[in-house]
Structure 1
Amino acid sequence: MFSSARRWLRQNRTPIAVGVGVVGAGYVVTQYVLSKINDARERMSSDRIAKENLRRRFEQNQEDCTFTVLALLPTATTNVLEAMNTESITYEIQQMKSAKNIKSGSGTSTSPPSIADTSLTEEEAKSMASMYSESGVHASQIVTPSPFAVAGENGGQQDGGAAQKPKKSKRQLWDDLTISAVTRSFTLIYTLALLTMLTRVQLNLLGRRSYLSSVVSLATSAQQATISLENHDDDNAEQTYGSDFDTNRKYLTFSWWLLNKGWVDVMNRVESAVRTVFGSLSPRDLVSFERFSELTMEVRKLVEGATPEERRASDWLTFLLPPTDKEEEVIRESGVLEGNAEAQGSSPQPSPAALRRLLDETADLIESPAFSHVLTLLLDAGFSSLVDKKLASEAFEFPSQQQPQGSESGILVSRDDTEDLKHTKLVLLPKILSVLTRQAHVIGNGVPNEYLQDMETVRDLEAFAAVVYSSNWENEAREDGLMDSAIYVEKPVQEEKGPPAPGESNAVDDNRSGLQSAWERAMGKTA
């Protein structure tokens, strides 16, 4: 039996060897293919996880921007409301009317003063029809008289008239009231939009630095094995905004300039435009919704520019960032230096080069056409909320145009009828000023803030934030020395462009061209 088996093997050894070889080769090829498939699957899984991590970090960053704006906005709101105290002018007009009623024996009103209650009579309108205030005095400069000092005010003015300011007429107060109410609400919309844009730029620049730091740490296995998705610990700020916490904190404090200084320039520019456009209106004027919308657009053209070229050339940088010679003053006024001294004693100062790079890139972003484009869209949303929603419903009392879900023809009021109302329905100017006065508080202190919510629905805002977050990674890594530690990143080759001239740098031009190309790609995808 064994001999027959050996004989059979000798006779068939060649086919058996070929068969074993084929099977072995098939096994090796199969294992190779399976390993390649597993590698590809792992790479796809890693890419998917990395993209998901990036997406979650980016979304968390945008939520941080919203909360930051809500936290900073009350500071600017307080300053604006104190500078333009519309309510004090309203109170002074009410007191003047009350004094006249007392003299005529008609008694006084016990209800709280409001703009709507301070309407002019026909006799007052005739006597003040030819008067127009050329004064640029703000409400904060007007001293509100005491209700008990009305009777003796004239006598006091005769005794010491040279030391007292001349008393304004009722028409002059109405002119100041018109300018103050309109300027205040418009200034707050501009401040909110600028603060939203500045916060998006700042936090997305720092978020980019944090993400790059996490990626390099993962690649080198120096600090951690996975990328941190969120900051669950309030004290773990280093993982949220990078390792140079002191520099990042100084950089974030530059929002102090807009909140305490820049808004003044915004207010002055808006006030100049409002005086030009609204200065000829009288409190007895009847204004249509369409007319007020046109006046609002005229103000915006004077503030922002009438053409796309003028809007792109608008200098928003002076409102958002201080001049170079005042940067130390901003850091000192914001209290960062005192906080560092208390917490760290004589610890070394952070590298000024890192802060300089952040400020320079921020300035480049603010001066970019993309910034101007998105800012215009935010202002469109803000003014639409004020005029098309609030004024339309509260001052002009237009019916709602909202339609039920799932119904294309179930509009409560037809749009044609509403358009007719916009042309024909007229209201007195004081009624519009009353709504603007109330809305100024809503814009700055509303909870939830409807104006901020409407601005954040602008799709290009998220696209701009994504471009800031994802662009210029190579320069960021190279300037921070991250490329030196990343084992999978090659040294950048700069021979093609040539070395920069003495005192010059290619970084700014690279940043601007990279941002512009990234923005054009983003707009191409969303188009």
Structure 2
Amino acid sequence: MISATRNWLRRNRTTFAVGAGVLTVGYVATQYVLGRISDARERMSSDRIARENLRRRFEQNQEDCTFTVLALLPTATDNILAELETERITFELQQQKAAKLARNGEAPHPSEMGSTPPSVTDDDGRSMVSLQSESGIHASQMGIPSATSTGESPQDGGQQAQKARKSKLQLWNDLKISAITRAFTLIYTLALLTLLTRIQLNLLGRRSYLSSVVSLATGGINESTITLENNDDDNVDQAYGNDFETNRRYLTFSWWLLHRGWKEAMYKVEAAVKEVFGSLSPRDDIDMEKFSILTLEVRKKVEGATEADRRECRWLQFLLPPRDQEDFVLKESGMTTEPSAVSSPAPSISSSGITPLRRLLDETSDLIDSPPFTDVLTKLLDAGFSTLVDQKVAQQVFKLPPTSDITDASTSRITEILDVKPVKLPIVLALLTRQAHNIGNGVPNEYLQSMEQVRDLEAFAAVVYSSNWESEITPLNVDGTNTADVEIETAGFKTDSDAGQESIIDLGSASTFENAWGKAVDKSSVT
């Protein structure tokens, strides 16, 4: 029996060996597959956590942009209101009318001393003379007493009348130009400040995120996920410009727009307003369609009449100072009293000798000069002017119903605009005078809200936040590690390496900001 069993095992030993081998290989393969599945599951969980963390971080960054704009806007508003004193001109006109009533023995009505510009349709004799004489109508045709009948010499009376005419007409012309220029300048300043703040905070947010990634990859953080906050103050952070002093100085450069850039924008807007609205008289009637056309003409002269003209328009001079004025900005804002604080050598510069602050300013300049910046700015201005013209002026001056109350907005709105009665120009000026305060100091700020509803603004911020990684990480080597090989998790901003996902950001070595923006716009249009 034992001998038979031994012989059977000897005859089938090959079969047993093969079977044992198959079982062993199957077991090893099963364990390998289970291990890979477990690793993939852990990686997916880790990636999901990292993506959610970065997404929350990006969304918080955009909220910070909104609060920053609201905090900075009053500074520019105060400067613009002080430069364009529409209320002072209105008060002088009211004083003239009150003086005229006093000479006639009439008491001024309380409403005449309000903030609304005085009417030009009253029986003010001298005002009528001044307005009509500009149209070629003699005073005798209007029944106004001449200088001879009042006991004055013709020469003295003519000089006084001419002086009164110039004073009255000049005040009204100044009021017209000031009210329109001020409202339009505030819209341009708000749009520029919104875009500049998005660029600044998203660049700093990207650098902060990169420093946390590098710290994690080189053992600086003993965690498997990327946290929202990075409180480390090591050399890696400072090498990326993520130190507090660099960030503080970089954000200070918004001082230029708040104190200098707005004035350059105002000069450009004022020249366009004078050219477009200069021929209008305070006694003229104006309808909704004409005001919209004139507003569009002003925008064409400021921004460009065609897409090619708008691409040629350069906004950098309004947002950032020239290089020879950068140290002046830092000094005026109280950041430093040392010369050459922007480009002087520092311990935390790259091998190319460029300081982190210099790199931030250069990249900001490139973004401002890029075509996507102009495209987004145009859409922000569309939203701002639409709020002013299509909502405030249309509803409060011409009494048009809101667009949401119209069933067929494409046809009914046009019919409403064509049927609306014209109003006197001073009524429109009064509204623009009031709306200037709402644009600059409104709580809540409807104009900022309308601009932030532009989808391309968030797409622009996402491209700034998630593009140009390679230029940030390539120059650095930490503890002998090539940081260019560090894997960057771009969270909600999908890359070409995400299989099965639609690409929005290209992080390849040949990518450019314009290419990334094109993909972002394509994705936005599809959704």
Same structural fold, with TM-score higher than 0.5 when normalized by the shorter chain? yes
What are the Cα deviations for residues 421-466 of structure 1, in whole angstroms up to 9, with x where unaligned?
3123211111111111111010001111111111011111111111
Aligned equivalent of 2:495: none
What TM-score results when the alignment is normalised by the length of structure 1? 0.80
What are the Cα deviations for residues 330-386 of structure 1, in whole angstroms up to 9, with x where unaligned?
0011111279xxxxxxxx887562111111111111111111111011000000000
Aligned equivalent of 2:131: 128
Q: Given the alignment of the two structures, is residue 475 of structure 1 paired with residue 484 of structure 2, yes or no?
A: no
What are the Cα deviations for residues 38-77 of structure 1, in whole angstroms up to 9, with x where unaligned?
2222333333333323322221211111111111001000
Match runs of 1:218-257 below 5 Å: 218-226=216-224, 228-231=226-229, 243-257=242-256
Which of 404, 415, 423 aligns to 1:420? It is 415
Query: How many angstroms does 1:480 deviate by?
Result: 5.2
Distance in structure 2 (CA, Å) of the matches to 1:328 and 1:227 = 40
Query: How many angstroms does 1:21 deviate by?
Result: 2.7
Q: Given the alignment of the two structures, is residue 444 of structure 1 paired with residue 440 of structure 2, yes or no?
A: yes
Distance in structure 1 (CA, Å) of the matches to 2:510 and 2:302 = 25
Name the CA shift for 1:199/1:471 in 2 (closer, same or farther; >3 Å): same
Query: How many angstroms does 1:418 deviate by?
Result: 3.5
Aligned equivalent of 1:138: none
Aligned equivalent of 1:27: 27
SS at match of 2:29: helix
Distance in structure 2 (CA, Å) of the matches to 1:331 and 1:511 = 34
Answer yes or no: is the 8 Å Cα contact 2:212–2:230 preserved in 1. no
What are the Cα deviations for residues 9-63 of structure 1, in whole angstroms up to 9, with x where unaligned?
5665554444333222211111111112222223333333333233222212111
What are the Cα deviations for residues 290-333 of structure 1, in whole angstroms up to 9, with x where unaligned?
10000000100111111111111112111101111110010011
Q: RMSD across aligned C-alpha pairs, in angstroms?
A: 3.3
Name the CA shift for 1:290/1:483 in 2 (closer, same or farther; >3 Å): farther
Aligned equivalent of 2:305: 306
Query: How many angstroms does 1:228 deviate by?
Result: 5.0
Aligned equivalent of 1:344: none
Query: How many angstroms does 1:4 deviate by?
Result: 8.2
Which of 502, 518, 524 aligns to 1:520? It is 518
Q: Which runs of 5+ in 2 are unaligned?
A: 136-155, 157-162, 339-345, 487-507
Q: Given the alignment of the two structures, is residue 398 of structure 1 paired with residue 400 of structure 2, yes or no?
A: yes
Name the CA shift for 1:365/1:23 in 2 (closer, same or farther; >3 Å): same
Name the CA shift for 1:400/1:412 in 2 (closer, same or farther; >3 Å): farther
SS at match of 1:336: coil
Distance in structure 2 (CA, Å) of the matches to 1:488 and 1:193 = 36
Matched positions, count: 463
Match runs of 1:430-469 below 5 Å: 430-469=426-465
Amino acid at match of 1:271: E
Match runs of 1:33-112 below 5 Å: 33-111=33-111, 112=113
Aligned equivalent of 1:322: 321
Name the CA shift for 1:96/1:488 in 2 (closer, same or farther; >3 Å): closer
Which of 347, 355, 370 aligns to 1:368? It is 370
Match runs of 1:490-509 below 5 Å: none
Distance in structure 2 (CA, Å) of the matches to 1:373 and 1:298 = 18
Name the CA shift for 1:481/1:115 in 2 (closer, same or farther; >3 Å): farther
Aligned equivalent of 1:119: 120
Query: How many angstroms does 1:416 deviate by?
Result: 3.6
Answer yes or no: is the 8 Å Cα contact 2:76–2:262 preserved in 1. yes
Distance in structure 1 (CA, Å) of the matches to 2:227 and 2:237 = 10
Name the CA shift for 1:107/1:521 in 2 (closer, same or farther; >3 Å): same
Which of 201, 210, 216 aligns to 2:214? It is 216
Distance in structure 2 (CA, Å) of the matches to 1:450 and 1:89 = 27
Answer yes or no: is the 8 Å Cα contact 1:115–1:434 preserved in 2. yes
What TM-score results when the alignment is normalised by the length of structure 2? 0.80
Answer yes or no: is the 8 Å Cα contact 1:77–1:445 preserved in 2. yes
SS at match of 1:70: helix
Distance in structure 2 (CA, Å) of the matches to 1:105 and 1:277 = 40
SS at match of 2:474: helix
Which of 179, 183, 186 aligns to 1:185? It is 183
Answer yes or no: is the 8 Å Cα contact 1:219–1:486 preserved in 2. no
Name the CA shift for 1:431/1:272 in 2 (closer, same or farther; >3 Å): same
Distance in structure 1 (CA, Å) of the matches to 2:409 and 2:326 = 55
